Amino acid sequence: MILKIVDYEGNSFCFSLFDFTRNLIYQKQRGDLMIVNGKKMDFKQGITVTELLNEIKVDRDKVVVEVDLEIIDRNEYSQKKLFTASKVEVIRFVGGG
């Protein structure tokens, strides 16, 4: 089952019933803070991956972003919305030898 939710600003979000329920459970367990690289951080609800990377001053071309165990395509960073229940991992590339 797919749920469509429209927020007060007119933005619409589609979720499977499973994802929606999982996010509600995570939110109750974790409180109102998003988990980014294992740390609780306070960001607005519905922030995009691009906005998050800008907030934490990370170059989007030098990282891979995983949200709730799913790698996000770099082309989707500006559309992918994050929520307080989201668990985000920002993985940086490091050179060396």
Sites in the chain below the pLDDT cut of 70: 1-11, 13-32, 95-97
- Tens digit of pLDDT for each residue in 8-20? 666 676 666 666 6
Domains of the chain as residue ranges with CATH: 2-92 (3.10.20.30)
Do β-strands 12-16 and 2-6 pair in parallel, antiparallel, or remain unpaired? antiparallel
SS3 31: coil
pLDDT reported for residue 90 = 95
pTM above 0.85, yes or no: no
> Which is nearest to 58 in space by CA: 41, 70, 46, 33?
41
